[in-house]
Chains A and B, each alone.
Chain A
Amino acid sequence: MNHNRPPLLLRIAALFVLLFLNLPVWIIALYAFTTDETTYTFPLPGITARWFSVAWNRADMWQALSLSVRVAGIATLLALVIGTLAAAAVSRSKFFGRESISFLLVLPIALPGIVTGIALRSALGLMEIPFSFWTIIVGHATFCIVVVYNNVLARFRRTSWSLVEASMDLGANGLQTFRHILLPNIATALLAGGMLAFALSFDEVIVTTFTAGQQSTLPIWIFSQLTRPRDRPVTNVIALFVIVITSIPILLAYRFTQQGDLAEERKK
Chain B
Amino acid sequence: MTLTMPAPIFEIEDLRAHYLTRFGQKIQAVDGVSFSLKEGEILGIAGESGCGKTTLVSACMGLYIPPLHQSSGDVRVDGKSIIGMDVEQNRKDVLGRLVSMIPQGALNSLNPTRKVKDLAADMILSHDEKADKQEIQGRLRERFERIGLDAELVLNSYPIQLPAGMKQRVVIGISTLLNPRVVIADEPTSALDVTTQKSVIRLLFDLMDQQIIGSMLFITHELPLLRHVSSRIAVMYAGEFVELGSTEQVIFDSRMPYTKALMGSMLSAEPGQKSKKPVAIEGAPPNLAHRIKGCRFAERCPEARPDCKENEQLIRIVANREVRCQYAE
Q: Do A and B come from one complex?
A: no
Binding site for B on A (CB under 8 A): none
